[in-house]
Amino acid sequence: MKLIFRYLKPFALSLAACILFLFIQVSSDLGLPKLMSDMVDTGIQAGGIEGGAPTAISDDGMELLKTFAGEQDATVLDAGYALIHAGTDEDTSERYPISATKDIYRLVGDPIKGVGDAYTRAVYALVLSLQNMPEGESANAETAKERTANLELEPLYTMSPLFKERHSASELDAYISSAAEDESMAGSQVAVMFTRLFYEELGVDLKQLQRESIIGTGLKMIGVALLGGFSAIVVGWFSSKIGTSVAMRMRRDIFEKVGRFSSAEYDSFSTASLITRNTNDVQQIQQLIMMGLRLMLLAPIMGIGGVILAIRSSVSMSWIIAVAVISIVGMILVLFSLSVPKFKTLQTLIDKLNLVSRESLSGMMVIRSFGNERYEETRFEQANDNLRQTNRFVQRTMAFMLPAMTLVMNLVMLLIIWVGAKSIAESELQIGNMMAFMQYAMQIIVSFLFLSMMFMMVPRAVASAERIQEVLGTELSVRDPEEPRTLTYNEGITLAFKGVSFSYRDAEKPVLEDVSFTAKPGETTAFIGTTGSGKSTLVSLVPRFHDVTAGQITMNGIEIRSISQNELRESIGYVPQKGMLFSGDIASNVRYGKESADISEVGEALEVAQAKGFVEKLEQGIATPIAQGGTNVSGGQRQRLAIARALIKKAPIYIFDDSFSALDLNTDAALRRALKSFTANATVLVVAQRVSTIKNAEQIIVLDKGHIIGIGTHQELLESCAGYREIAESQLSKEELA
């Protein structure tokens, strides 16, 4: 995970903005259930009347309230309302038409805290008094139950003296105490009912009040939903930007690091594995970042916020949330204990599949020539089936998550409705609060579903990050010096091997041992020997594809390890054994050696490399397309284009690593003649299998099992080196030997 955090560090501001909008999104999502609850409880059930004290009340209504208010509550009501005389306030008359002819009390702008509670206790005590009033004591023939169910203010105002006479101080205090101690929703419901009566008495349009409440809450819900939607879009934009940018930088760094690998580091990773690490592994991390910023951060915020708000909605049903969370966590732990170990093997299996595919495609001609198509198909099928079975196990295990979550969610909804219905019947819960609780419960469960999805991605992404870190953390065996020296070569470069030995990693014995020679400008130094004698390894030490194990290599007296790799390789024109071409055209492949080369330089390089003849015969000339790997040209043509690519550099050193083996003898001879004049001032190193290719070289070095067994010209070696003479006699006639 350290690797992922390191790549996220440059995007700190974008991450902060993403988290900010994520909080806005979650706040919007969590705010909608509360608004929905307000619409149901206040807008629909209460007719748009909010709980607490009414904003205005008639003079008679205030007297009635004070009758059932305790001494302290009466003081609070007096302080919370101000008397407005009839017709003295135009705004009050417009909102409450009866105030034009009667005095009313209006809630002050900054009411004393507790006026709503005082009002609620007073009206609830009034209702308790009515319910306990014996039948027959009222001027009307209505029963106490009927009076409570169909309350009207005028009869209550008429009965006000009776209330004062009927109830002793102690009895009235008992009603007030009962109203204060009742923790159910009954008091709030009674308060809303009396507020509606007081508003109706004042001439307020209750239908308009309800419409305004519903429309106002609805507009708030639309605004919150739009804000949440906009925030979700912004979060998605930031997460996509950060995820793709991190993936781009990671792929770039892997590519650059692999580009600096020496052959020793390449041996530690297969080509298929390096491709997988730079594609599929990076893709896993990109998906983790993109989904993680939206889900990994969203889930805990929504889950914690949902739990808090659900408990606020109904403390009595909070145990349902606990049961749901415990069930989900237990299920997640069981599923992931089964599937997580498999995540770590998936990337290795993808490596294997890529390896088999790459080998089958690269060796298609060999496979066909030996008739092994069935064997390769079986090999691919086995790798493919291993990956399929592992993926299927993981996906089947994870597929169980969604239906299980859905089952838990539906069971929780049923439990909430069952418990909530009983609470509503007992006036302990309102319908809107129960609906809000249901939505919060769903949000909590969904947040755990998001977390489970992230838990499925995190192990695989962590495994991918470890594989990428293996590449980025690989110690390079070939490194630039801290203070590189500058190589000057106005008069060419003298290349010297001084006691050079080299061993591959974990090899039992050296490939080269105590090799010493000097190659001078204007001369050709050739290397010949049996297969495995170390010829190609020797010349690969010059451009530092490997570093020597012992001894040193110098250019004009400067040890090559004290020269930067870029400057060193700029001074070398290298032609490998296999003429590798890149997709593009002939001109782009030749210019690969020198991007700024003009047409004349391209033509000169092609002419010296003996490639101009076949290029001119092509319909499009140097603009002829080249397929990947140069598969649309012959081996000899591919080799000549590779030679032209090296020659166009006009470097002081040229290395031809068995580069003439694909050429016929006539082309070989013509190329060597052309090279003689073109490389007149250059140091030329040639690895060859054919004696005819190197017999005119100024210096021929014969290698055998990593040791030099002969140095000299062709004639000198025929006389002094038995190994060289044996090779020459096996290839040349007696006339050619002379």
**What's the CA gap between 367 and 577, in Å, rounded?**
23
Contact 628, 361 (CB under 8 A): no
DSSP 281: I
pLDDT band at 502 (very low <50, low <70, confident <90, very high): very high
514 and 414 in a common domain: no
Contact 30, 443 (CB under 8 A): yes
Q: At what angle do helices 59-67 and 71-80 cross, to 10 degrees?
A: 160
pLDDT band at 169 (very low <50, low <70, confident <90, very high): low
User: By 3-state DSSP, what share of the chain in percent is helix, strand and coil, each rounded to 5?
Assistant: 65, 10, 25
**What's the CA gap between 724 and 717, in Å, rounded?**
6
Q: What is the pLDDT of residue 167?
A: 59
What sign does the dihedral 247-250-252-254 (CA atoms) show? negative
**What's the CA gap between 89 and 93, in Å, rounded?**
6
| pLDDT 10s digits, 707-716 | 999 999 999 9
189 and 74 in a common domain: yes
**What's the CA gap between 238 and 287, in Å, rounded?**
13
The structure's pTM equals 0.71
570 and 425 in a common domain: no
24 domain residue, yes or no: no
The residues near 149 (Cβ < 8 Å, ≥ 6 apart) are none
Instruction: Identify which of 667, 277, 653, 258 has the alpha carbon closest to the alpha carbon of residue 493.
Output: 653
364 domain residue, yes or no: yes
In degrees and rounded to multiples of 5, residue 562 shows phi and psi of -95, 5
| pLDDT 10s digits, 649-681 | 889 999 998 888 778 888 888 888 898 888 888
274 and 148 in a common domain: no
439 and 338 in a common domain: yes
pLDDT at 618 over 80: yes
Q: Supply the mean pLDDT for the chain.
A: 83
Q: How far is CA 307 from CA 37, 313, 407, 434, 454, in A?
A: 16, 10, 20, 14, 20
Longest dimension (CA), the chain: 149
pLDDT at 110 over 60: no
640 and 579 in a common domain: yes
127 domain residue, yes or no: yes
Q: What is the pLDDT of residue 171?
A: 65
**What's the CA gap between 4 and 462, in Å, rounded?**
9
Q: Give the least confident one: 345-359, 498-512, 589-603, 671-685.
A: 345-359
Q: What is the pLDDT of residue 140?
A: 38
pLDDT at 683 over 90: yes
The residues near 138 (Cβ < 8 Å, ≥ 6 apart) are 147, 155, 159, 162
Cross-strand pairs, 495? 519, 555
pLDDT at 353 over 80: yes
42 domain residue, yes or no: no
The mean pLDDT value for 326-345 works out to 77
Q: What is the pLDDT of residue 497?
A: 94
CATH number, domain containing residue 351: 1.20.1560.10
CATH number, domain containing residue 580: 3.40.50.300
Give me the DSSP letters along 380-423: HHHHHHHHHHHHHHHHHHHHTHHHHHHHHHHHHHHHHHHHHHHH
Q: How many residues does the chain have?
A: 738
37 domain residue, yes or no: no
**Token pair for residue 558?**
């400067």
pLDDT band at 111 (very low <50, low <70, confident <90, very high): low
351 and 275 in a common domain: yes
**Token pair for residue 37?**
């609850």
545 and 454 in a common domain: no
pLDDT at 137 over 60: no
355 and 257 in a common domain: yes
**What's the CA gap between 441 and 139, in Å, rounded?**
52
| pLDDT 10s digits, 421-464 | 887 777 667 777 788 888 888 888 888 778 777 777 777 788 88
User: H helices within 473-580, ranges in order?
Assistant: 535-540, 565-570
How many Cα atoms within 13 Å fall on the side-chain side of residue 73? 24
Report the SS3 class of residue 527. Answer: strand
pLDDT at 504 over 80: yes
The type of residue at 553 is I
702 and 638 in a common domain: yes
221 domain residue, yes or no: no
pLDDT band at 165 (very low <50, low <70, confident <90, very high): low
| pLDDT 10s digits, 276-322 | 888 888 998 998 888 888 877 788 888 888 888 888 777 778 788 88
Q: How far is CA 134 from CA 137, 158, 171, in A?
A: 6, 17, 14
Measured from the Cβ of residue 552, the count of other Cβ atoms closer than 10 Å reads: 14
Q: What is the pLDDT of residue 142?
A: 40
| pLDDT 10s digits, 179-211 | 666 655 667 778 888 888 888 888 888 888 888
Percent of the chain with pLDDT over 90: 17
What sign does the dihedral 596-600-601-603 (CA atoms) show? positive
Domain count along the chain: 3
Report the SS3 class of residue 368. Answer: helix
| pLDDT 10s digits, 358-379 | 788 777 878 877 788 888 888 8
301 and 418 in a common domain: yes
Domain edge (last residue) among 410, 441, 472 = 472
Domain edge (last residue) among 204, 236, 263 = 204
Q: 30 versus 361: which is more confidently predicted?
A: 30
pLDDT at 415 over 90: no
**What's the CA gap between 473 and 467, in Å, rounded?**
10
51 domain residue, yes or no: no
- If DSSP states are collapsed to H, E and C, what string results for 229-250? HHHHHHHHHHHHHHHHHHHHHH
712 domain residue, yes or no: yes
**What's the CA gap between 48 and 39, in Å, rounded?**
8
Domain that holds residue 64: 56-204
506 and 449 in a common domain: no
pLDDT band at 251 (very low <50, low <70, confident <90, very high): very high
In degrees and rounded to multiples of 5, residue 696 shows phi and psi of -95, 5
CA 511 to chain centre: 46
